[in-house]
């Protein structure tokens, strides 16, 4: 197995970029501050669309959307199939969204499923008043989450079908909230009507309106035809969709695979970093569009005169065990994908620690947990949402699975734990990656993928938090530059 594959560098942000192309800025709009122009009777007839999905010049899958009338509203079905290469491995990814829409095309109920290899993620959602109740299903365990809604929720696969391009004027701007069933998160989207263009679509010229959408610093573009069909979509890292027919969409599905996405997103610094894992300090300068918005200050990372300095943490001067503050207590609680309260997780934590008390000897307990996850989880890319229970069940995953499992085991043992994400230096390039912060008297970095406590100084934190927070990486991905100062 190659060092690249053994490292199992991160894929969550890249995976979310794929989801956003279909489920984010284009496919999860919530009602906004200004109403979009909607064609009268848009939901009164069956609407169907097939699109090829490309990464740069290579086809990697398709998307199929169908909207049809139903008593009291409409039913929406969207299916996505992709064959994606990351870390040298090609894998299939399947997504399905089935929704019941009300007469005004707002969301009533939703069923969402994501499948890749042995991993499955399911979510069911229902709107009642100003609350969206979501039930998730991972590793056979159901959880309930209630999300407050400021406005009626809309799935934009339906909204885009219903829009009237004739009423979209260049210069018009709209603001929306988005809800993504995959990340159970909401964020603001800014949409701007750019201009009218003529496209070549399926061998014929078609008039279209180009719209630009910004979410979390990332920009996506869509072209909407005169009939309301989406003709083309363009997103991050060379990802795009093109309108086609069913026969062409499903052609060649068993053999297609694009270039390696993890490698495509990696950042090559201006010079090599010798003895990267053994360094006590690293100083770099981050650049590129969006880099100024990345919250890199805090913990072992400091910034002065535009230079980011990362210092290796000392473990020989940790304060004695003491009571936990409000922040630390918050990171003992379970989350939808960090199921630290589940008995399987708690039992595994007890088995790993044996007689070691996380309260009396937090550093020793943390070392045992990091070492167990490092040794026990096979390092291979996973095209799914990382969750602790599924990782424990299947004993495989990339850095994201390592990070959520370590977080769950640590919290179950009484050690506050957080997830961090950013880039790490490997074989001459910085790859997107995820690791942890563990509270062992103070917050210390830990990387179960590499078996490091603390993590080496080439781990450059760009965001802290779960999959929802990792969406912030999309604002710099593909644009980030790194200059090595020291």
Summarize pLDDT for 210-222 with one digit per residue, the tens.
Answer: 988 776 666 778 8
Q: Is 393 a residue whose pLDDT tops 90?
A: yes
Q: Is 414 a residue whose pLDDT tops 80?
A: yes
Q: How far is CA 450 from CA 373, 378, 390, 456, in A?
A: 10, 12, 20, 9
The number of residues making up the chain comes to 486
**Euclidean distance between the first and the last CA atom of the chain, given in angstroms as a whole number:** 32
Instruction: Indicate the pLDDT class of residue 101, thresholds 50, 70 and 90.
Output: confident
In the prediction, which pLDDT does 171 show? 87
Is omega for the bond preceding 145 within 30 degrees of 0, making it cis?
A: no
Instruction: Indicate the pLDDT class of residue 157, thresholds 50, 70 and 90.
Output: low
Radius of gyration of the chain (CA): 23
- Asked if residue 334 lies in contact with residue 404, where contact means CB atoms within 8 angstroms, the answer is no
Q: Is 235 a residue whose pLDDT tops 70?
A: yes
Average pLDDT (246-252) is 89
In the prediction, which pLDDT does 183 show? 57
Tens digits of residue pLDDT in 56-96? 888 888 989 888 888 888 898 989 888 877 777 778 888 88
In the prediction, which pLDDT does 44 show? 61
Q: Which residues contact 84 (CB under 8 A, 6 or more apart)?
A: 18, 55, 60, 61, 90, 91, 93, 257, 258, 261, 383
Q: Which residue has better confidence, 365 or 151?
A: 365
Instruction: Indicate the pLDDT class of residue 3, thresholds 50, 70 and 90.
Output: very low
CB neighbourhood size of 332 (10 A): 18
Rounded CA gap, 483 and 239, in Å?
Answer: 27
In the prediction, which pLDDT does 374 show? 96
Which structural domains are found in the chain, ordered by start?
17-249 (2.50.20), 266-484 (3.10.620.30)
Rounded CA gap, 399 and 416, in Å?
Answer: 19
In the prediction, which pLDDT does 162 show? 55
- Asked if residue 197 lies in contact with residue 205, where contact means CB atoms within 8 angstroms, the answer is no
- Asked if residue 406 lies in contact with residue 448, where contact means CB atoms within 8 angstroms, the answer is yes
Q: What are phi and psi of 22, to 5 degrees?
A: -110, -30
In the prediction, which pLDDT does 458 show? 95
In the prediction, which pLDDT does 457 show? 96
Rounded CA gap, 354 and 55, in Å?
Answer: 48
Alpha carbons within 13 angstroms on the beta-carbon side of residue 96 total 8
Q: Is 418 a residue whose pLDDT tops 90?
A: yes
Average pLDDT (245-260) is 78
Q: Is 459 a residue whose pLDDT tops 70?
A: yes
- Asked if residue 220 lies in contact with residue 230, where contact means CB atoms within 8 angstroms, the answer is no
Rounded CA gap, 103 and 232, in Å?
Answer: 27
Rounded CA gap, 142 and 287, in Å?
Answer: 42
In the prediction, which pLDDT does 42 show? 52
Q: Which helix (H) or strand (E) holds 70?
A: strand 58-70
Rounded CA gap, 246 and 228, in Å?
Answer: 19
Long-range CB contacts (within 8 A, 24+) of 318-325 = 318/363, 318/440, 318/441, 318/442, 318/444, 319/441, 319/442, 320/441, 321/359, 321/360, 321/362, 321/441, 322/441, 324/416, 324/439
DSSP per position, 114-171: EEETTEEEEEEEEEETTEEEEEEEETTEEEEEEEE-SS-B--HHHHHHHB-GGG--TT
Rounded CA gap, 114 and 120, in Å?
Answer: 6
Helix, coil or strand: residue 485: coil
Tens digits of residue pLDDT in 17-50? 555 444 333 333 223 334 445 454 555 678 888 9
Average pLDDT (398-420) is 94
Q: Is 10 a residue whose pLDDT tops 70?
A: no
Rounded CA gap, 279 and 410, in Å?
Answer: 27
In the prediction, which pLDDT does 106 show? 78
Long-range CB contacts (within 8 A, 24+) of 254-257 = 256/58, 256/59, 256/60, 256/61, 256/83, 257/58, 257/60, 257/83, 257/84, 257/85, 257/90
Q: Is 159 a residue whose pLDDT tops 90?
A: no
In the prediction, which pLDDT does 74 show? 87
Instruction: Indicate the pLDDT class of residue 152, thresholds 50, 70 and 90.
Output: confident
CB neighbourhood size of 103 (10 A): 12
């Amino acid at each position: 197995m190659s060092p690249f594959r053994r490292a199992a560098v991160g894929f969550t942000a890249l995976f979310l970029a794929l989801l956003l192309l279909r489920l984010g800025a284009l496919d999860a709009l919530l009602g906004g501050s200004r109403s979009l122009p909607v064609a009268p009777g848009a939901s009164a007839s069956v609407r169907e669309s097939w699109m090829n999905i490309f990464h740069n010049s290579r086809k990697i899958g398709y998307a199929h959307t169908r909207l049809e009338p139903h008593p009291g509203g409409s039913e929406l079905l969207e299916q996505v199939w992709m064959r994606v290469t990351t870390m040298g491995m090609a894998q299939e990814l399947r997504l399905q969204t089935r929704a019941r829409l009300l007469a005004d095309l707002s969301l009533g109920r939703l069923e969402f499923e994501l499948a890749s290899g042995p991993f499955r993620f399911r979510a069911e959602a229902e709107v009642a008043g100003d609350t969206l109740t979501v039930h998730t299903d991972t590793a056979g365990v159901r959880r309930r989450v209630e999300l407050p809604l400021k406005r009626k929720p809309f799935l934009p696969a339906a909204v885009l079908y219903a829009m009237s391009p004739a009423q979209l004027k260049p210069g018009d701007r709209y603001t929306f909230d988005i809800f993504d069933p995959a990340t159970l998160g909401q964020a603001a989207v800014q949409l701007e009507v750019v201009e009218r263009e003529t496209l070549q679509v399926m061998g014929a010229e078609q008039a279209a309106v180009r719209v630009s959408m910004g979410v979390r610093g990332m920009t996506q573009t869509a072209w909407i035809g005169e009939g309301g069909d989406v003709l083309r979509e363009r997103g991050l890292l060379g990802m795009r969709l093109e309108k086609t027919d069913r026969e062409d969409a499903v052609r060649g599905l068993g053999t297609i695979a694009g270039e390696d996405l993890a490698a495509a997103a990696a950042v090559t610094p201006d010079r090599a970093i010798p003895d990267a894992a053994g360094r006590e300090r690293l100083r770099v300068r981050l650049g590129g569009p969006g880099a100024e918005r990345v919250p890199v200050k805090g913990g072992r990372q400091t910034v002065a005169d535009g230079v980011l300095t990362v210092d290796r943490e000392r473990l020989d001067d940790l304060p004695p065990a003491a009571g936990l503050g409000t922040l630390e207590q918050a990171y003992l609680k379970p989350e939808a994908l960090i199921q630290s309260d589940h008995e399987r997780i708690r039992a595994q934590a007890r088995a790993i620690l044996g007689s070691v008390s996380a309260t009396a000897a937090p550093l020793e307990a943390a070392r045992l947990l990091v070492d167990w996850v490092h040794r026990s989880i096979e390092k291979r890319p996973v095209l799914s949402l990382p969750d602790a229970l599924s990782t424990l069940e299947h004993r495989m995953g990339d850095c994201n699975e390592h990070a959520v499992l370590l977080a769950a085991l640590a919290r179950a043992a009484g050690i506050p734990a957080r997830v961090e994400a950013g880039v790490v230096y490997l074989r001459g390039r910085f790859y997107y990656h995820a690791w942890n912060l563990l509270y062992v008297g103070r917050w210390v970095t830990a990387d179960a993928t590499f078996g490091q406590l603390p993590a080496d100084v080439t781990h450059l934190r760009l965001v802290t938090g779960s999959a929802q927070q990792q969406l912030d990486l999309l604002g710099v991905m593909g644009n980030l530059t790194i200059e090595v100062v020291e």
